[in-house]
Amino acid sequence: MNELDNIQVFLKVAELDSFSGAARQLGLPNATVSSAVRQLEAGLGTRLLQRTTRRVQLTQEGAAFYARSRELVADFDALRSMFRGGADVLSGRLRIDMSVAMAARIVLPHLGEFMARHPRLLIDLGTADRRVDVIREGYDCVLRAGTLQDSSLVARPLGSYRLLNCASPGYLRAYGTPRTLDDLAHHRVIHYDAQLGGSAPAWEWFDEAAGQSRSAPVGAALTVNGTVAYEAACLAGLGLVQAPEAGLRERLRDGSLVEVLPDYRPAPMPLAFVYPSRRHVPARTLAFMDWAQALLAPWLEGPHRDI
């Protein structure tokens, strides 16, 4: 491995606080990763990482080197691709994450087109029903819905999902169709809570007259922490849900779900790519975000300004 390779290995170890984690993501033996960092430290004449039995952390010198070397690697990637052309120019491994529903219904059915266009690109696609740590888990970009809070990441707003209120025909036969918010007192709501107990169930809607979102507490006999379970519970007639139209469109078309309370829909949910802050984003990451943005455009309303 040359010195630049050693720097890239060091960056991955520093991001993950783990030699073994870096080895897994880079597809290298643990010994190779350890050797690369030792060679880099020997060449610099200083210790970059403090190793203990429980964790790995940057030394003061390592933190300074980490900040400068990230910029160096990004600049080198940009320089290397400056004069390249052709369909197969992109190479390397692209690590991305998005929701299960987004991947299954929209991205995966068309991903073959992107992969055929860039045959030298390797893709790791995560579909975790949780908010992944973009930097520590080594993601190049992550597709996130909702309000963004991590200011250390760069956001690329894509637009907003329209959210609908739905129930199954079986549920409506058993409990009737709600017409007003007061009717919800006699209905069951399926509560989505990633922490299973971290939040109280509430019905959300956008008040057009006031120009703001409102919510009211509701009862929920069932709480789930996964999007697949959320939809399955609704299809099984266990209650009402509030979910993105993009994931429900097929169910609404075939009649297995029915929209209810159309005048009390939640506010559209903003959608954005987030990625590590850097001066130069790798060409493979930009290419995927451009492709995905075009793919998602028919499912979204105009760019959401609040992200």
Evaluate whether 287 touches 118 at the Cβ level (below 8 Å): yes
The CATH-assigned architecture of domain 3-80 is: Orthogonal Bundle (1.10)
pLDDT of 82: 57
Confidence (pTM): 0.70
**Closest among 57, 60, 45 to 18, alpha carbons compared:** 57
Evaluate whether 172 touches 256 at the Cβ level (below 8 Å): no
Burial of residue 233 (number of CB atoms within 10 Å: 0-12, 13-18, 19+) = buried
The span from the first CA to the last CA of the chain, in angstroms, equals: 41
CB proximity list for 165: less than 8 A, separation 6 or greater: 240, 241, 242, 259, 260, 261, 262, 264, 265, 266
CA separation, residue 267 to residues 22, 213, 244, 252, 300 (Å): 40, 6, 11, 20, 13
What is the C-alpha to C-alpha distance for residues 188 and 25, in angstroms, rounded to an integer? 44
**Closest among 70, 62, 84, 242 to 166, alpha carbons compared:** 242
What is the C-alpha to C-alpha distance for residues 121 and 117, in angstroms, rounded to an integer? 9
What is the C-alpha to C-alpha distance for residues 113 and 102, in angstroms, rounded to an integer? 17
pLDDT of 305: 39
CB proximity list for 25: less than 8 A, separation 6 or greater: 12, 16, 95, 138
Q: Could you give the 3-state DSSP secondary structure of residue 222?
A: strand
* Residue 190 phi, psi (nearest 5): -85, 125
Do 163-264 and 92-156+277-299 fall under one CATH topology?
yes
Mean pLDDT for back-to-back runs of 10 residues, the chain (307 residues)? 86 86 88 91 91 82 83 70 59 87 90 93 85 79 81 85 94 95 93 84 88 88 89 95 87 95 92 80 89 91 50
pLDDT of 304: 44
3-state secondary structure 88-121: CCCCEEEEEECCHHHHHHHHHHHHHHHHHHCCCE
Going from N- to C-terminal start, the domains of the chain cover: 3-80, 92-156+277-299, 163-264
User: In the chain, count of helices (H) and strands (E)?
Assistant: 10, 14
* Residue 138 phi, psi (nearest 5): 75, 30
Pair type for strands 202-207 and 212-217: antiparallel
For residue 64, the one-letter residue type is A
Cross-strand bridge partners of residue 32: none
- CATH class of the domain at 92-156+277-299: alpha beta
CATH number given to 163-264? 3.40.190.290
Element (H, E) at 13: helix 3-16
What is the C-alpha to C-alpha distance for residues 135 and 11, in angstroms, rounded to an integer? 11
